[in-house]
Structure 1
Amino acid sequence: MPSTFRLSISSLIGALALTLSACGGGGGGGGEESAIAETTIESTAPDSTTPKAESPAGLWRGATDAGKDFTAFVLTDGVTTGYMIVYSDKSTKSVTGFVQDGAEIIGRTIRASNSLDYNFETGQFGVTALSGSVNDSGAFEGRLIRPTGPELLTANEYHSLEGTPTLAQVAGTYSGEFVGLETREAATIVITEAGEIVKTSASGCTASGEVFPDSKLNVYWISLPFDQTCKSPGWNDGIAYWDPKTAQLYVITGPDWDAVWGRGYVFIGAR
C-alpha cells in the first residue's frame, strides 16, 4: 500500500479507488441512460464461519438512518489506512453515491476528515467527515457529517480483506453500470489472466491497461489510461475488488491530484 494518503484518488489508492476518470456519457437523465438496467449491490447474510471483527479494517455491509444500504471497504497495512463507502437504494439497489478518503485507525476506532463525497442522486460533490468504531458484539457503528447533514451507519456483516488474490480469480468479462455525478451508462470491463484490463462503455469511451494483485490484501492494483474516445483522456490508476460473496467486481474511481475533484465514478459488474 502507499505510504501516504491525500485527498486524491491517485494518492488514495489504499482507499480502494480506481480512476476510470471522466468517461463520456454525462448529462444524466437522458433517453439512453433511462434504458440502462441499474447495477445492483447484492446483500448477503453473514455465515457461521465469518470471523468477529476486532478492528474497522475489512469489508462491511449495513444500512444508514437515511434509508440507504451501503458496502464499506477499509484497507490498512498497519501503517496507512484508506476507506470507501458505496451507497445503494434499498428498493432499486442502484448505486447512489460514495465517500472515500485516507483514515486513521486506533484500536477499534476509525476517523477521517475532508473525505470526498459523491452524491449521484443530487449530482453534487462535497466534503464529509467520518468517525466510527467496532462495538463489543463485533458490529460497526459510525457517523458521517455529510453536506446534506449527519448520517448514522450501522453494519452487522463483516468480512476480512486479508488474502492473496490471483489474476485467475478475477479474470473474465464483466457487464455492469458506470455511474458518476453526470453519468449513468452501461459498461464492460475485461480482465485477462495475463494482467490486461480493457474498459468500454455505451458512450464509446475506451481504456486499456494493466492489473496486478496486492501481496497481502484481497484487492487489485490497476493502471488504466483513457484514450481520446473519452471525455477526459489521460492516465489513471487505482484498485478494484472482486467480491466472492456476490460474484461482482467493484471499481471505484476518482480524480488525479490536479484534476477536478468532482470526477468520481463507480463501476459494479458481474461476469
Structure 2
Amino acid sequence: MSNHNNPGQAPDTGHEWDGIRELTNAPPKWWTICFYLSLLWCVVYFILYPSIPLINGPNEGLLNWSSIKEYKQAVAKYQEIREPYMDQLETMSAEQILADQEMLNFANSYTNALFGDYCSACHGAGGQGVEGRFPNLRDDNWLYGGSVDAIKETITNGREGMMPAFQADLGQAEIEQLADFVIALPQGQATQAGWSLYEESGCGLCHGEDAKGVPDFGSANLTDSVWRFGDSRDEVIRTISKGVNQEDVEGSRSAVMPAFDERLSDNDIKLLTVRVWSFGGGQQ
C-alpha cells in the first residue's frame, strides 16, 4: 500500500538547505485513506451532534443530543430510584434506620455528600478527626456521650467546651505536678499526692471524682489514652494553664463545634446522626 522510493532518486521541490532536500514523495496510501475517513467522520459528526454555530442559532444535530440533557436525564433517574427511600427515611426514627440494614446502607450512601460538605473539613472524610484539633468520630470516646440522642443534640445545637485557666490559681510547680498526674493516670501510675492535688484544685468537679469525665459537662475522661489536645507534657501543661475557650487568656485552647439547626433540615440532621453513630464508635 505504499511506494518505497530511494530518497536519493526521489523527486524534490528544488529547495535544499544545509544538505537537506525537500522531497515531494506522496504519503503512504493507508495514511491517505485514514485521512479522508477522518474528514468523512467529521462531516457525519457535524450532522448528528451539536457542532458549529449556524446563522439562526447552534446546530443541535439530528440526534438532538446535549450534555445538559444527558445530565438531567441521569438526575431524574437517580431521583426516581431515591424518592421511595427518602419518603421512607423521613418517617423513620434514627433507631429504626439503624435497625434496618437496607435503609442504613442507603442512609450512609446518601450522606456521603452531606458529610463531605458539612463535617469532613474538621473531622476528615472518614471521620478520623485531626489529632490535637478535632475529635475522632470512629472511636468510642465521647465528650458529650455517644448515644443517638446525644449525637443528634451535638449536631443540632453545636458544642462549646469550657475549662478554666489555672495559671492564676496555681503556681507553676503545682501545674507541672498536676500535668504529670494527668499523664500518669492512663498508665496506672498516678500517685496519692497527685490525687490529692487533683481534688484540692477542684478538677473533680468537672472531670468527676474518678477522673473519668462527665458527659453533661463535656469534660474529658482523664483515665484513658485519648487526648483532645495532645499527650506531651508541654501540651498538657498548656491546657491546664490556659484552659479551653477562655477569651481573656492568650493561648487558651479553642474547642467549638457550630450548630447546624439553621443550616440543615431535621431529616438531614437525623441522617448525619445515623452516619456518625455507624462509624463504629456510637453507644447504645
Report TM bin, short chain: under 0.3
More strand by share: 1
Give TM-score scaled by structure 1 length: 0.23
Answer 1 or 2: higher relative contact order, Cα 8 Å, separation at least 6. 1
Greater CA radius of gyration, 1 or 2?
2
Relative to the length of structure 2, the TM-score reads 0.22
